[in-house]
Copies of this chain bind each other. A is one copy, B any other.
């Protein structure tokens, strides 16, 4: 292993999407040697140009690294990357720390942590909030679960990627916290979309409505950031509907395991399924509006004629 008192740890990075590429870049910029693997090698080109070296598999990354970060898509991808034939745990040595920054199942984070421990490996879960902009600007909120000593070791690296880093508890606690985040967002999204729908049908000028209500008790990130996009009929992703559905599905599954009834989340989840049924899976989460619009045959827009 690298002598951490003198040299930077060798960082492994698996998953170079719209967020992972920036997060890894911040570590390279901070002087950490990086070993990279991702399914589509071409996506790694900017990082390889910046000095990272390529590895042929997650196992190969793990063999060369002191800390392996993963930022992939879905729980199945996380399973494959950690527990597959060429997975991280196959290449892991005693003392390795892994940090899964994908939003995935809390019980999967626990399972991986339990599988890692006999190998002398500490597996941390550290999902993030803040999107591609937060990743690029190193302004992410990072919700961390896992062994306290291992979390301390990786903290200086997490600080290169985020501004708000909180150790939430043992393995899985980071993922559970991310679920808390997504559950609030589900509520704000249905509130914002139904509010605009109502205001439009009532003949209001919705830009004026936002001027009245954004600064008070109805104020929320979604109202400030997504409502104006909806009024411009801009449904481009920020955050993909498909990914939000994944997250809500995880939260509902975990809630079911815990015998917990979440009627609001269940409803919003269903309405987002209606968005995908109409081909909106790759739209941004504000496309929830499209499902609500189709139910009532109305189209929301700026500067509606007065009633």
Task: Give chain A's interface residues, CB within 8 Å of chain B.
Answer: 106, 129-131, 134, 141, 143, 164, 166-170, 172-173, 176-177, 179-192, 194-199, 201-205, 208-209, 211-213, 215-223, 225, 239, 251, 254-255, 258-265, 267-268, 271, 292, 295-296, 298, 306-307
Contacts and interface: CB of A to CB of B under 8 A. Distances in A.
B262 A198 contact: yes
> Is the contact region of chain A dominated by helix, strand, or loop, or is it mixed?
helix
Contacts of A239: 217
B168 A216 contact: no
Contacts of A169: 203-205, 208, 306-307
Given A181-B218, A187-B190, A220-B188, A213 B129 contact: yes
B202 A195 contact: no
Given A184-B191, A198-B260, 5 more contacts: A184-B188, A184-B218, A217-B225, A264-B268, A267-B267
A217 B130 contact: yes
Contacts of A183: 191, 194-195, 198
Nearest to A217: B221
B222 A221 contact: no
Number of copies: 2
Nearest to A262: B194
B181 A212 contact: yes
A255 B198 contact: yes
B184 A199 contact: no
Contacts of A180: 195-196, 198-199, 204, 209, 213, 218
Contacts of A130: 216-217
Nearest to A185: B218
Contacts of A296: 259-261
B213 A307 contact: no
A141 B164 CA distance: 32
Contacts of A219: 220-221
